[in-house]
Amino acid sequence: MTSPQRALIFDMDGTIVDNMAFHTKSWLAFFESRGKVIDPDAFFLDTAGRQGHEIMRSYLGEDVDHVTLNAEKEALYRELYGPHLAAVPGFDALIAKAAAAGVKLVVGTAAPNENIAFTLDGLNLRSKFDAIVGAGDVARGKPNPDVFLAGAERAGALPENCIVFEDAPLGVEAARRAGMRAVVLTTTLPASAFAEFDNVICIAANFSELDLDTLFASAPAATTI
């Protein structure tokens, strides 16, 4: 009897790369140019993991040209973050070990294709993944589970055999709704921000603190290291 297919599903922004501060800066500048002052902490909690068009409509109204506006905002983000592009420590080693063990590797992100290319191609990571699911592939952003369920399906893995890596509460909630365990990286928020989630199996500062075998052996109960 063959073992069930296992998969690791990675959020991209704030997880593969520690870039959320640059997204926030670009959002604040975008809204400031339109006379809107946004509280950065509240904005992150409300939006991290949501798709750009969802954020635009929520903050600017249903009738805005969200395609043009989102392209403007994301171009600003890439300009700000470009000089700092780097993977979170330990990421390359973890995915290499996973691939060697036959674990499928998936990206599940709310980012548009331009940002996916900017990050994954900029770091020469695209070929490392078995599947990439972005904003253009699903109708709804996080906390809906769509992106993670699509990633699991493309990897040929059942939700219970997937582990999601996230940095934001909306993303962890999306994993919970998908029936998946989650690992939280504290690149953006402290561990206390995830205390309510019963699907979190580990909280770590970066990937170098994680052991693949231990993660798959973990039950969905919060553990902090």
Q: Give me the active site residues, please.
A: 11
Tell me how far apart the alpha carbons of residues 166 and 13 are, in angstroms, rounded to a whole number.
9
Report phi then psi at 137, rounded to 5: -100, -15
Where helices occur in 101-182 by DSSP H, the ranges are: 113-116, 146-155, 169-177
Name the burial class of residue 60, with classes exposed (0-12), middle (13-18) and buried (19+) by CB atoms within 10 angstroms of its CB.
middle
Tell me how far apart the alpha carbons of residues 214 and 224 are, in angstroms, rounded to a whole number.
13
What strands, in cross-sheet order, belong to the sheet with 7-10?
131-133, 104-108, 7-10, 162-166, 181-185, 200-204
How many other CB atoms are there within 10 angstroms of residue 59's CB atom?
17
The answer to whether the beta carbons of residues 143 and 108 sit under 8 Å apart is no
* Cβ-Cβ contacts under 8 Å for 188 (sequence gap 6 or more): 14, 18, 20, 21, 44, 48, 167, 168
